[in-house]
Chains A and B, each alone.
Chain A
Amino acid sequence: MTRSAPSIRARLTGWYSVVLFFMLLVYAAATYLAVRHEFFEQLEDQLHDDFESAEGFLSPAADGRIVWASDRYRDPDEDEDKGIDVWAGGGEPIYRSRASTSLPPIALPAAAAAARYESLDVGGRTWRTLTASTLVGGKPLVMRVSRSEEKLRAQLAEILGVLVLGLPLVVALASVGGYVLARGALTPIDHLAAAARRITAERLHERLSAPNPDDEIGRLTAVINDTYARLEASFDKLRRFTADASHELRTPLTVVRGIGEMTLKDPRSPAEYKEAIGSILEEIDRLTTLVDTLLRLSHGDAGTVRLSPETLDLRNLARDVAASLGILAEERSQRLDIEAPEPVMATVDRLVLREALTNVVDNAIKYGPSGSRVLIQVSADRDRAVLEVRDEGPGVPPEHRERIFDRFFRVDDGRSRQTGGTGLGLSIAKWAVDVNGGRISVGSGVPHGSVFRIELPRATASSRDDDSLVRTRRGEHT
């Protein structure tokens, strides 16, 4: 992570600089063009003014010729950067200022056509000119006013120079600034990484802290903390499971060992030996079941269970389970009823799902009081098939509902060996429902008792035709 952070920093800065460079380039070009345009417009305005004021210098003489009356005002000849040329309609010059003598004379017919601005290069100097025809004293004249562009071009060059030199400088400064900012923004991630690395399996209860929980880093921290919380929960679960499993395995082993040692200590009657061996065999039976069940669950965890799904009516499954466990309910004077008004199809592995239902119903019978009712309900909503098992037992307290499906979890620790279960029945049920793509949950019944709810994806009734086929094939196989 530390190796990639500088690269993010560098990349950010790089992109930032490139984008900034192009933006500034466009900005500079636009500025330059706008300024240039403005300068020329100003120059032309000045030429226009020059033209009008020059008209004032012209007046008809006594002989009817138009003459340049330079003595009335300051002589324009003194200005090196301005020129005025006046021609009579016939082409003979009336006046040419000193500065503009180097400029070529104008082509009269063209000049007479319309007023026009143009730039003229003469001897290394560029002039901006306005040529137009006018009437003085009723006589047509052609007049050209000109101003040197030197000063304007020098100013433009200066501006261009500032822009061209300034641009890389600004981009370079911005890059440095951007890098510093990016580093500043990304440093908390480095800190986060370092802090996260310190949290090991033994210190999973620790959490990362963020200065501001609402910014991006804060949210990232929250996500990481959330992950740690889940990790800690599964570690706890695993730790508890290992402790529970070794306890459950150790108890029968202790019994076996104790009986063996006690029996061998003194001579016994054959009946006593029989009793002892029988008792040992019972414990071994318990151990075998336990190991077998754990192994199946671990197969489930590893995802190596092979399923043979078929589309079936859950009502049949409910009837099947009720028929098989009915005798246990009878023993406890309980009523085991099924409420299933209409066919509910689901595509599941029949044997695996049956195991789930068997365990849940067995649980309901076990915890339901004598004389109570256990009800299996089969129903469906739009896309889910639902199996519900209601009992009238003590129910599952809300604080235990999360863990009731955990391996070896018991609401009442004392009951384990009396009820004879392994403490894995509901875990197996959960596993069996999960692999069939469903979910199992527990809620409370009305007015009391618990409701175990198995939800499965509902199959369309049209696929019912496959049912008999699949079953036949399974039948052949077994």
Chain B
Amino acid sequence: MRVLVVEDEPKIAAVLAGALTGDHYEVAIAGNGEDGFFRASAEVFDLVVLDIMLPGRSGLDILQALRQQRIHTPVLILTARDGVDDRVCGLDLGADDYLVKPFAVPELLARIRALLRRGRPSDVLRLKAADLELDLVARRATRGERSLDLTVREFDLLEYLLRHHGRLVSREMLAHDVWREPRRATPLDNVIDVQMARLRKKVDAHGTPRLIHTVRGVGFVLREGEP
């Protein structure tokens, strides 16, 4: 999978490159708008991460030019926190998703995975990790021999963690995808933490190896062994 990152701020570009390489993507970086547009139209990429605020040529401009040339590579745009209009404008011009700076890296990776997965049918009926098993049709969860008595929210949460098995899940992602709230807020953060603690108590009880881990300052991850 090849990803083009169009970002003029070297530190952010380096972070993105590092994170994407870590997830086994092949990364190309363009440091300005002209270069970004040239590479996006001349080479073949599976996805473009496009900053809106670029020197020379704006991200929206590049996006428009790409779509006019019938290049339909999925584009994820990065906007400043204040740019509500940028966001709407970007989606109107054919962007596939957006993230607001400052963004959490795990969320960026999750969004990229979702974009690359798009269009492929999801035929998963069961999710598994170690001896934890989720039956999505019957909405039943078991850990080894033990059946887990989960609330609806807890089941959704566990399903989301399993779908992102081994990958970091931020509070933003949970707020957005599990609680379906348009924005993260302090009360919601508390709700997420409490809910997560309860879920962990049910899943990781009775001396079984821990599956749900908290990564301080980042979020949560479901994986076997130490995070």
Contact = CB atoms under 8 A, between A and B. Distances in A.
Contact of B179 (A281, A324, A425): A324
B30 to A, nearest CB: 27
Interface stretch (B6-14, B41-49, B180-188): B180-188
Interface stretch (A50-58, A150-158, A175-183, A283-291): A283-291
B218 interface: yes
Interface stretch (B64-72, B132-140, B190-198): B190-198
Contacts of A291: 81
Contacts of A281: 216-218
A289 B186 contact: yes
A362 interface: yes
Contacts of A328: 187, 190-191, 194
A173 to B, nearest CB: 70
Which of B182, B195, B216 has the most chain A CB within a 10 Å cutoff?
B216
Contacts of A279: 216-217
B82 interface: yes
Which of A327, A328, A420 has the most chain B CB within a 10 Å cutoff?
A327
A362 B190 contact: yes
A389 B190 CA distance: 19
B194 A277 contact: no
A331 B201 CA distance: 14
Interface in A333-366: 351, 355, 358-359, 361-362
Contacts of A370: none
A interface, size bucket: 20 to 34
B207 interface: no
Given A278-B216, A328-B191, A358 B81 contact: no
B102 interface: yes
A358 B187 CA distance: 7
Nearest to A277: B217
A275 interface: yes
B29 to A, nearest CB: 24
Nearest to A332: B194
B217 A282 contact: yes
Contacts of B189: 420
A282 B34 CA distance: 37
A355 B181 CA distance: 10
A280 B194 CA distance: 22
Contact of A421 (B81, B186, B215): B186
Contacts of A461: none
A29 interface: no
A359 B187 contact: yes
Given A328-B194, A362-B187, A275 B216 contact: yes
Q: Which 8 A-B pairs have the closest CB atoms?
A: A281-B217, A278-B216, A362-B187, A278-B217, A282-B217, A327-B194, A331-B194, A358-B187
